[in-house]
Chains A and B, each alone.
Chain A
Amino acid sequence: MTGLFSEVFLSALLFGAVTAAIPLLLAGLGEQMSEKAGVLNIGIEGMMLAGAYLGFVGAFYSGSLWLGFLTGAAGGVAVALIMALLCVRIGLNQIIIGIALTLGLEGLTALLHHFQFSRSYPRLPAADATVIPLLSDIPVIGAAFFKHHLIVYLAVALVFGMSYLYRRTQLGLNLQAAGDKPAALDVAGIDVIKTRTIAVLTTGALAGLGGAYLANVGAGLFIPFITNGAGFLGIVLAMLARGRPIWVLFGALLFGVCLSLTTAMQVAGINIPTDVIQMLPFLAVMIMLVLFGRRASLPAALGIPYERGAR
């Protein structure tokens, strides 16, 4: 047991927490934008899977992680395009389409994986880390937080970008109006459909990127159902963050620690079945929802398709 709390172990645990948190962060930020604009995006799990699969395919065949991130984000956008078309443009039920997209992408990516990779299970080489000088020399924390792939720092920077977007820009205000009082936005001369479409497509890009990170950097390979509920965790993060991007970051880190603990306990050879450990993040979610669920504030027009002149 002595090894369990050593410096190396702790720093590996935190490193894993950051790695596990990034997909959740990206999904949470994406979902937050959709929800602000009034679209409940249950299909985000499917968008992440599309991103994970296409991201892996892109990185595997091109040999470039960055190209993988790009194809992953494109995959997420492709799924989001279906969602935007069906739910925003013609106003179909967001929950039904969301479930359908998640189910469909689960099936489709598993199917494609079966025909493409199931015999070889190819892996990507470990991702190059961008080491931040000086900061990375701090014991424990340095190795845990400042030796990640460049995209990790970009994802964290995105949190502040999003804060700025919502507080200081016209687009940010439009997005929130599209979710709170779409009719008012319409009267002000701004296209609600277009605003919501932007939000859904951005969600797709972020979720796809999160999926690609999960497959390419987190796991180094694609397996069916690899996201294992990460998209749904993203929805919870967005719900609990009450519209503030910074809380998505904190929440993602918290769940990231839970997920990392899962792996760490398995590596440390603690004699508990993996199933018990796998319950940890979801248990944390339920506890959070029981404690803070009441205060989760959601936009007034969430889930309601906008139709001009409808009563």
Chain B
Amino acid sequence: MIAFHAPEQETSRFRHRVVAGGAFALVCFMLLAARFYYLQVRQFEYYHTRAEDNRIALLPIVPNRGMIVDRNGVVLARNYAAYTLEITPARTNGLEQTIDALSEVLTIDARDRRRFRKLLEESRSFESVPIRNRLSDEEVARFIAQRYRFPGVDVQARLFRDYPLGASASHVVGYIGRINQRDLERIDEGEDAANYRGSDYIGKSGLELSYETELHGKTGFEQVEVNAGGRAVRRLSSTPAVTGSDLELTLDMELQKIAETAFGNRRGALVAIEPTTGGVLALVSTPTFDPNLFVDGISTQDWKELNDSPDHPLLNRAIYSAYPPGSTFKPFMGLAGLTTGKRTAAQTIADPGYFNFAGHRFMDDKVGGHGVVDLHKSIVVSCNTYYYQLANDLGIDGIANFMAQFGLGARTGLDLPGEAEGVLPSPAWKKKRFRRPEQQRWFGGETISVGIGQGYNAYTPLQMANAVAALVNDGKVFRPHVVRYVVDTRTGNKRMIEPEPVRQIALKPEHVAAVRRAMVEVNKSGTGARAFAGAPYEVGGKTGTAQVYSLKGSRYVEGQVRERLRDHSWFIAYAPADNPKIALAVLVENGGFGSQSAAPIARQVIDYHLLGKRPNQPAPEDADAVESSD
């Protein structure tokens, strides 16, 4: 078909083919050149970024967490360095086999395994999860020697949170724990997400939670060049981490411990406040718990023990549990009577031992009554009838409006998480609280009960202590606070948490003086006299007994032993009487009369605070204490 006969023709045909071949090659090379132009010029920015992303990794530098110390420098929370054995599940050849093989080299007990499993569920994917904490040097050496057998397992030096005082003040300090899914979501929502890259722990309760931002510090970043294997080969730049701030508390740990000891093994709460600043001197809730249990992830068994205990050790009674104030309400009621002009200090009533209202007879504790009673006597002997009448005269709205000024029935704004509101009852409150119309109606008889601190009334020990502080501070209400200084660890600068006045209640000095005189007399000849017998200082106070009945305190009643049906014992106090340095509220659950268990605790606390006197045993229960009312 194609045949070349003449050499000339053949050569020319061949040269055409060569030109065609050359042209093809040229076109192909132009295609390549166009491709290079596209990649290296048009798409340069994109590939440049890709290459930089390839090579540069940002590694977080986790800051050291700030310390927590009390007002005298006693350490409540600190860090220590220790070795942990950590497993990255994704990199092991079978998690179970790895753990089994590890347990031949190191002791890994059932508790470690359980905790590991729990942490595994909570942790972020591809994270290393600790299986053993606090390895000894010898254990570290033993593992390192056999490390080649365990891919995905490594020893890490880490800082651990330590609460050297253990269970003491644990409700204040709180604890940190490993960041779980819920924390993550919260962090991701906030603006601080970048700050938690690399952090394993976060505050879960107490100050560790409420001052998380200050304590955590600022995460530093190291820009490193990494190779394809992900190994850092060169440091490009770094921003050092900023250690978290230290917290210096208003708390006096000696006082705190004395208060805790005073409770013995009774359940209850105590809040002591410096009236002129709102600084909390002691905040006790018993029983308490050891926050160290939570740091490495609490074991199921420990958690069960704490959570299922009928004593609810995790509950911060001082700020979360609200109790009817009982007769500790009376000084405030008295002041309300004077301030509103419904009573004068000298005005008297004749107490027959009861008060009739709407066909119901409200009884006084003392059969036959206290006779002629004025304001002073009504507080000293805790006369119910006086307050039945006063409550009726003030009306429920009058009471509610006056008491609200002292912060009762509202969160005080303490710098700890989880404060309860309590209940300052009023028709408006009842409307909000109940759904059915017949329940929403306010009855006049309910006002009478409220007058003596029973009924729907329920306040936290913190609210009561803060109300006492306001009373003795001429009506100046502070926002209570536990932290006094936030200390920048780099500069040593102390940022003071200023006393923050919330409001000034309009009170006449002579009215306050009259009530305070009566409260001092309580501890001389009244219901607190036995507890404060022989005290070398003057102290104002008031006992109270919160009735435990099923309406509100159901959790303490249902199917419980008889002991849990006893009334709660209250005591509020301030000292010294003329220039108070401490205002406090004590509550002992099922402690009976206020004078019986709460007042002796207050005595020990005030003795130490004013005199430096240390008791050598828990406050005694005064079995002989006789209470007229409360």
Are A and B interaction partners? no
Chain B interface residues toward A at CB < 8 A: none
Chain A interface residues toward B at CB < 8 A: none
